[in-house]
Amino acid sequence: MATLSVVVLTFNEAANIEACLESVKWANEIIVVDSGSTDATCEIARRYTDKVVFHPCNGMAEQRNYGRSLASGEWVLDLDADERITPALQAEIQELLRRDPVCLADGYRIYIRDWMFGKFVRYGSWPYQAPVRLSRAKVARWQGTVHERAVVTTGRVGKLHNPMLHYSHTSIAAFLNKMNRYTDQEAAEMFAQGKRANLFLALLGAARAFGGQYIRLQGFRDGGHGLILAILMAVYYFVLQAKLWSLWYMFEHEEANATPQGTLQ
C-alpha cells in the first residue's frame, strides 16, 4: 500500500482539531501547520502527531505548499481543521492506495458536504464543490489568494465518490464574518487588477445569484436554509461589487482633492 501524509492547517481551531485528526488517524503521517494559535489547538494536535510545526501565514496557498513540502508520504491529503473524512471516504482512499501505482489519476477531486447552521445542505451550488484534495506528493501545487486551489501540474485528475464533511458555517454569524473577510480580500485584488464595478449591474447580478441558488439549483428544497443561503449568496455578490465600487470612488476623489499647496500671501 502506498503511504499517505495528511496536511492540516490551523489557527485557533481548538473546537475543531480533535474531530478532524480523529477522522484521519489511520494515515501514515499527520502534519499540522499552525500559524500562531493562542488556544489549545497545538496541545490537542500533539495527541495525534509529533509533527506540529509553526509557520507564519503569508497566504493560504503558500501555507499549504509549505505543509506539503514537509510530507514524506507518496500521496498527500490536504485538509482544513473544520473538515472530516468519513469512514466511507477513508475506505475509498485506502483502496486507492492499495491499487497504487496503477491508479488511473495522479490527483483526485473530493466532493464536500457543507454543514450550514444546523444541517447538511443538499441543494444550491454547495453539493457541486469538488476541489482537488488528494494527490501524489510531487504533482500538485496550491495557487491563488482568496479562493486558493490545488492544481495538478502533471498527470490526470480523477474524482472520488464519497464526500468529506465541512463544518465551516456553524452559524449565520460565522457565514457573515467569513463573507466580510473574503469580500474585503477579493475587492482589493480586483481593484489591483483594474477591475471596476457598476452598482446597477451589481444589483442585477445579486438577483441572478439568488435565482440561480434558489430556483435553478433548487435551493428551495432545503427549506428555510435554502432561502437564507440564496439571500446570503446574493448579498455576497452585491457586497463584493459595492466594496470594489467604493475603492474606486475613494481613489478617484482622493486624486481629485490632491491639489498642490501654494504659499499664502
Q: List domains and CATH numbers for the chain.
A: 4-168 (3.90.550.10), 171-255 (no CATH)
DSSP bridge pairs for 75: 4, 136
- Is the predicted pLDDT of residue 265 greater than 60, yes or no? no
Kindly indicate the confidence band of residue 258, based on its pLDDT and cuts at 50, 70 and 90. low
Task: Work out whether the CA dihedral 93, 4, 153, 11 comes out positive or negative.
Answer: positive
Predicted confidence (pLDDT) per residue in 30-74, tens digit: 999 999 999 999 999 999 999 999 999 999 999 999 999 999 999
Amino acid in the structure at residue 255: E
Cβ atoms 20, 79 nearer than 8 A: yes
Mean pLDDT for the stretch of residues 134-149: 91
| Cβ neighbours of 265 (radius 10 Å) | 3
